Amino acid sequence: MQLKALIISADNFEDMELFYPLHRLKEEGVAVEVASMKEGAITGKHGYSIHVDLTLAEVKPEEFDMLVLPGGRAPERVRLEEKALEIARYFFNENKPVAAICHGVQVLISAGVIRGRKATCFIGIRDDLKSAGARYEDKEVVVDGNLVTSRNPDDLYAFGRELVRKLRT
């Protein structure tokens, strides 16, 4: 059966952080769908656009095998959506893989799922990650159970490696 990954983002996403995992997962034969608040397309900070496959309201999290949260300014918008937080909680409750990079962890902070977990993030929000109870590490990628996190676009090679490894386990 074909695996399915869900990317949740919004306008002003970090372009590389959305497209790198998208293509990397497609390379593995994974079907990738993008969810956001509204139908249409979302556009990254650097001008790349991507079609929105489904609204957050339409997401059935049980249909997906992995959740990917790219960074940029988008997570500060996504974290205001209760449905996005419910989806994140579902993945943690079911111990399904969640991969967040850069500001992506802001969604996990708001979902209340990060306490006690080893994780990393963009350096500018590391104190918020710590305040939320996470065990912050300054590494290119941190894997703790179902959770894969990276700091910024320079880490994408390591983020990609670990999210693919997580899918296979």
Sites of contact with its own copies (CB under 8 A): 15-16, 19-20, 22-24, 26-27, 46-48, 153, 156-158, 160-161
Helix-strand-coil split of the chain, %, nearest 5: 40, 25, 35
Query: b/e for 126-165, b at 16 or more Cβ within 10 A?
Result: bebbeebebebbeebbbbbebbbbbbbbebbebbbebbbe
Residue closer to its own copies by CB (options 16, 100) is: 16
Q: Is-catalytic flag, 103? A: yes
CB of 74 vs its own copies, minimal distance in Å: 16
CB of 47 vs its own copies, minimal distance in Å: 5
CB of 104 vs its own copies, minimal distance in Å: 17
Residue closer to its own copies by CB (options 138, 157) is: 157
For 101, the token pair is: 């990079």
Residue closer to its own copies by CB (options 115, 165) is: 165
Q: Is-catalytic flag, 102? A: yes
Helix runs in the chain, H state only: 15-27, 74-78, 82-93, 105-111, 126-131, 156-168
Active site residues: 102-103
